[in-house]
Amino acid sequence: MSAPLRVLIVDDEAPARSRMRDLLTDVGSELPVMVAGEAANGRDALRAAEGGGVDVVLLDVRMPGMDGIEVAQHLRKLEPPPAVIFTTAYDAYAIRAFELHVVDYLLKPIRAARLQEALLRAAPSGSSKAEALRDLQQAPRTCLSAVERGKVHLIPIEDVLFLRAELKYVTVRIAAREYLVEESLTRLEQEFERRFVRVHRNCLVARAAIRGFERVDAGSGEGPWQVVLAGLEERIPVSRRQQHVVRELAR
């Protein structure tokens, strides 16, 4: 007999988690499963899945703070990534998208038989699903995530001072330190267009963090502009093509 499937239950509503526990018990007679943990929000879900002790995550789509779609994107960075099965009571948009991208989902109230089917089918979310999840994301994510030594670090987007593309990574700078994430700068610019402004071909800075602009050669009153960011010694050069940003933002 194979090792039981380790399942993590993620839902912000306590009764929904309790119902899922009951269902897993019912399924248990046919399929060896064990509840590896429960979480009421995305952050706790990531912490719980981090140790690699989770095979399948039953993930509620609609949760306060970080929604299920975003949690799934961060979960994908775990090694090995757990399989994700979304659960939702009713969300016309999400259901249409799930169908379109052949993403596993269960409708609440969930039947034991349907749950069992989904668990049997559950496969680690492959790379093909990354695109699907990005399409599903309706609002910008609340956090970026970086992997370091097998741990997933969540970087709240409001802490980010600037994003700079270098080769195949993007450097994410917060006040205390910096992270490397595997993302595309163009995509980040689209997703967070209200939060960041492009000052250079390879750099987006947080609008809220801009403290001012100064000339590289302060004495002459000429030369290219650079951005002064809150709490940061480093100056970010503004490229010739983005000079108009200085006029728009320096009031």
Partner 1 sequence: MARSINHNANTGALPDFRNFGILLRILLIVNGVALLAALLQVNAVRGWLAQFTENAALVEPLLILSLLVLAAVGSMLRRLPYALAIVTIMAIELALTVALHYASRALFFVEAHSLPRWLLIVALTTGMLLVYFDLRGRALSPALAEARLQALQARIRPHFLFNSINAVLSLVRQEPRRAEAALEDLAGLFRASMADNRELTPIAHEIELCRQYLDLEQLRLGERLHVEWHTEKMPPDALVPALALQPLMENAVYHGIEPSDKPGVISINIYAVRDRLHVVLRNPYRASGGHHAGNKMALANIRERLQLHFDVAAELTTRVGDDTYEVRMAMPYVKAKPS
Q: Which residues bind partner 1 (CB under 8 A)?
A: 12-16, 18-19, 22, 41, 62-65, 67, 89-91, 107-110, 138-139
Of the candidates 150, 32, 31, the residue with the CA atom closest to the CA atom of residue 81: 150
Q: Would you state the structure tokens that stand for residue 238, as one six-digit string?
A: 């503004």
Closer residue to partner 1 in complex, CB, 5/63:
63
- Residue placing its CB nearer to partner 1 in the complex, 13 or 189: 13
218 three-class SS: coil
Of 138 and 184, the one with the shorter C-beta distance to partner 1 is 138
Residues forming a β-bridge with 214: 226
- Nearest Cα to Cα of residue 82 among 73, 91, 94, 95: 73
CB of 15 to partner 1, least distance (A): 4
Q: How far is the CB of 187 from partner 1 (least distance, A)?
A: 20
At closest approach, how far in Å is the CB of 27 from partner 1? 15
Tell me the two tokens of residue 188: 């980040």
Residues in the chain: 251
Q: Which is nearer to partner 1, 11 or 55 (CB)?
A: 11
Would you give the end-to-end CA distance of the chain in angstroms?
70
Distance CA 129, CA 134 (A): 9
Q: How far is the CB of 44 from partner 1 (least distance, A)?
A: 11
Q: Which is nearer to partner 1, 91 or 117 (CB)?
A: 91
CB 245, CB 209: distance < 8 Å: no
Instruction: Specify the residue, 65 or 231, whose C-beta has the smaller distance to partner 1.
Output: 65
- The residue among 12, 87, 79 whose CA lies nearest residue 43 is 12
We find the least distance from the C-beta atom of residue 31 to partner 1, in angstroms, to be 20
* Nearest distance from C-beta of residue 218 to partner 1, angstroms: 38
77: how many CB neighbours lie within 10 A of its CB? Answer: 17
